[in-house]
């Protein structure tokens, strides 16, 4: 993603806008986690590596915050997440 909003939020209907904003925020946080963890894997300075991993961990908290807000606003998403959990249990036993 790298600072690019994947959807034109100005064109989203008002009823869905807050949910789309939250989804976009989650995408941005996941992108940041990926970036920081990749850079940490390449860093040769242990302090830089530690800082990048610490910041990636903070971004994971942000994902949880945005996801919580989204799940409070999108009950279909809640149902589909549960359905996904059940499929994993059925398919691979986890």
For the ranges 10-19, 26-35, 65-74, 81-90, the lowest mean pLDDT is seen at 10-19
Q: Which residue has the tokens 């990749």?
A: 38
Range of the domain at 25: 15-92
**From the DSSP assignment, how many helices (H) and strands (E) are in the chain?**
3, 0
**Residue 26, domain member (yes or no):** yes
Question: 13-58: per-residue pLDDT in tens?
Answer: 888 899 999 999 999 999 999 999 999 999 999 999 999 999 999 9
pLDDT tier at 2, thresholds 50, 70, 90: low
Please report whether residue 34 resides in a domain: yes
pLDDT for res 11: 77
Q: DSSP letter at 7?
A: S
Domain count across the chain? 1
pTM of the predicted protein model: 0.85
């Amino acid at each position: 993603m790298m600072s690019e909003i994947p959807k034109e939020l100005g064109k989203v209907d008002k009823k869905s806008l807050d949910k789309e904003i939250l989804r976009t925020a989650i995408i941005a946080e996941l992108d940041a986690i990926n970036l920081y963890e990749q850079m940490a894997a390449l860093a040769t300075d242990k302090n830089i590596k530690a800082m990048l991993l610490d910041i990636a961990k903070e971004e994971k908290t942000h994902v949880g915050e945005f996801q919580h807000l989204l799940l409070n606003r999108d009950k279909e998403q809640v149902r589909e997440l549960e359905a996904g959990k059940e499929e994993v249990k059925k398919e691979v036993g986890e």
